[in-house]
Amino acid sequence: MDQAPSATLAIGIEQRLSAPRTGLFGLQHLLALTGIWIFPVLIGQSLNLSQVQVSHIVQGCFLMTGIITVLQSSRLLKLPIVQGPTAGFFVALSAAGATFGLGTAFGSMMVAGLICMVLSIPIKHFGLFGHISKLSSSPIVFGTLFVIIGGQLASIGLSGWFGVPGTPGYGSPNFWVSIITVITVLGCLIFGGNSVVRRAAIIWGIAAGTLVAAVAGLWTPAGAGSVPLVHAPTWLPFGFGVEWSVVVVMLLAFFQAGAESAGMYSLVGSWGGQQVGLSRTNRGLFTEFFGTTVGSLFGGIGTTSYPENAGIIRVTGVGSRFVTATAGGAAIVLAFIPGVSLFIAGLPSPVLSAASTILFGIIAMSGVQLLATVDWDDLNLAVAAPAFIIALGLQFLPAEITAGISPSVAAIVGSPMMLGIIMLVVLHLIVNVGIRPILERGRPANAEPLAVGQSSSHV
């Protein structure tokens, strides 16, 4: 039976649309998956991969995104949730790939995914991951983490605006192409209203910058004729290996992505008038971890539930899970067309660097938005301040110190995001969950209580 639309949604979660409208709204969701366009190419640039190798990652991302989105929308979670590559896994794969190789990075992600699947088995109350994520998904934890991620990624964007020495257009010509890319993205964000123009602003910026680069003779598309028209994603494109420290890093990335997804399940479900309890949350997380585990075998970057796609649902009022299932199905189809992946892999690097600069800034400012909901008493400062400054300070450790760190330890300590989330979760649990209630009990009866994340004193 079709579900009646809620006050928030014009088209309810269980309602269907005509085939043309389903395809149109599904296309909007597909265009919002900016991580597929940017993260694989940036990994390729940082690790000196060939375009063909990068295209393998793109194909893996399409496959992973499609599988998880279809499963979330249809049989398991039954919510209009769209999954896509996330910055947390991008950072983890880049760091681990540089130290141990991508074969070990993806292999360790698969092992971590299997562990998280066990922790989220959706059998009554056995799934532990839902309990863990709800316990520590405070705005102070993830708000600060997003700012740390933005700061860590800042070094990747702007330096690439000028291109690569020895390539066409290095210097001023590529810089102006990057400027056009940024102006287009900002223009779409500012003047795009509540349309797909704003939701896919990064994609339109990439399209504009690429077109200008082609007209100026600075870029030519990769030859799709060099690959078959239809071909399955490549199995273990970088080999296979496992390193325990990378497994830990990937577990942290899964934790961040899973907690973010759990919050999105609850939010989107509430728009459709549905309660998303712990058992249903664990079903969604199990599906996400299963899809990421499978996708890692084909070079896919780990996913989370995209807030951009939730924004599309909120703005359009179309909450049909059959629309998001269609978007997932389209992503699976694209995974089997290697020419599309090769084209994305060959996009001009200055354009992607410029677009990623805005994307990384948005990630950081999303953290600032979350932190604006926190009332900053001394206890909350004790959680966020040391984690923030120590995590970002890792990037400036003396070379003599880092040279003496073993690769296994460096995989964790060398990543601001990874050490940041460890410190934030541990400090939050100790200070806000453990110490704050004790201090509350010791306060005078007529004193205003200090709730977690709240205080009457501000900085």
Q: Is 239 strand, coil or helix?
A: strand
- Residue 185 placed within a domain: yes
Pull the structure tokens for residue 435.
């110490």
- Residue 106 placed within a domain: yes
Size of the chain, expressed as the number of residues it contains: 459
Pull the structure tokens for residue 299.
């070079």
Does the pLDDT of residue 55 top 90, yes or no? yes
- Could you tell me which residue, 417 or 2, shows the higher pLDDT? 417
Q: What letters, b where the CB count within 10 A reaches 16 and e where it falls short, cover 410-429?
A: bbbbbbbbbbbbbbbbebbb
- Residue 243 placed within a domain: yes
Residue 229 near residue 339, CB atoms below 8 Å: yes
- Could you tell me which residue, 248 or 334, shows the higher pLDDT? 334
- Residue 3 placed within a domain: no
What does the pLDDT look like over 365-402, one tens digit per residue? 988 998 998 989 999 999 999 999 999 988 887 777 77
Pull the structure tokens for residue 351.
């354009």
How large is the average pLDDT for residues 31-45?
90
Rounded to whole angstroms, the Cα distance separating 247 from 250 reads 5
- Residue 10 placed within a domain: no
- Reference 43, options 97, 110, 103, 86; nearest CA is 97
Give the pLDDT score at 413.
75
**pTM for the predicted model, two decimal places:** 0.86
Does the pLDDT of residue 1 top 50, yes or no? no
- Could you tell me which residue, 232 or 421, shows the higher pLDDT? 232
What does the pLDDT look like over 152-184, one tens digit per residue? 888 777 888 998 787 778 888 999 999 999 999
- Could you tell me which residue, 214 or 9, shows the higher pLDDT? 214
- Residue 444 placed within a domain: no
What does the pLDDT look like over 132-151, one tens digit per residue? 655 556 789 888 988 998 88
Select the highest-mean-pLDDT range: 1-5, 76-80, 137-141, 324-328: 324-328
- Residue 225 placed within a domain: yes
DSSP state of 225: G
Give the pLDDT score at 455.
36
What does the pLDDT look like over 413-456, one tens digit per residue? 777 888 888 889 889 989 998 999 988 887 766 566 555 444 33
pLDDT, the chain, mean: 86
Residue type, 440: E
Domain span holding position 93 = 19-434
Residue 162 near residue 174, CB atoms below 8 Å: yes
What does the pLDDT look like over 83-130, one tens digit per residue? 999 988 998 999 899 889 999 999 999 999 999 998 888 666 566 665
Backbone angles phi, psi at 7, to 5 degrees: -65, -25
Give the pLDDT score at 445.
60
Give the pLDDT score at 454.
44
- Residue 455 placed within a domain: no
**Number of structural domains in the chain:** 1
Give the pLDDT score at 44.
93
